[in-house]
Amino acid sequence: MSRVCEICGKGPMTGNKIIRHGLRKSKGGIGLHTTGITRRRFLPNLQKIRVIENGGVTRKRICTSCLKAGKVTKAS
């Protein structure tokens, strides 16, 4: 199953999970030190909803930002 919005094409993005140890300088420590960096994925918030399209009702996987923006009309 594809993790892509069928309206805007938003899909998974990659980034880093950064692990830091130590006490911040503002709190009286010697500063934070990075001890680990791991690749991770940021997945879009997709919802499977019924949409009115071309006079009929179909199911689509749509991200919540498209849903809030009103790019589709939900079937009742």
Q: What is the pLDDT of residues 4-33, one digit of tens each?
A: 999 999 999 999 999 999 999 999 999 999
Q: Evaluate whether 70 touches 8 at the Cβ level (below 8 Å).
A: no
pLDDT of residue 2: 86
Q: What is the pLDDT of residues 28-62, one digit of tens each?
A: 999 999 999 999 999 999 999 999 999 999 999 99
Question: Rounded CA gap, 54 and 60, in Å?
Answer: 14
Instruction: Name 51's Cβ contacts closer than 8 Å, sequence gap at least 6.
Output: 57, 58, 59, 60, 62, 72, 73, 74, 75
Q: Which tokens is 47 given?
A: 């919802």
Q: Using the predicted structure, report yes or no on whether residue 1 has a pLDDT greater than 80.
A: no
pLDDT of residue 17: 97
Ordered by where they begin, the domains of the chain are: 13-69 (2.30.170)
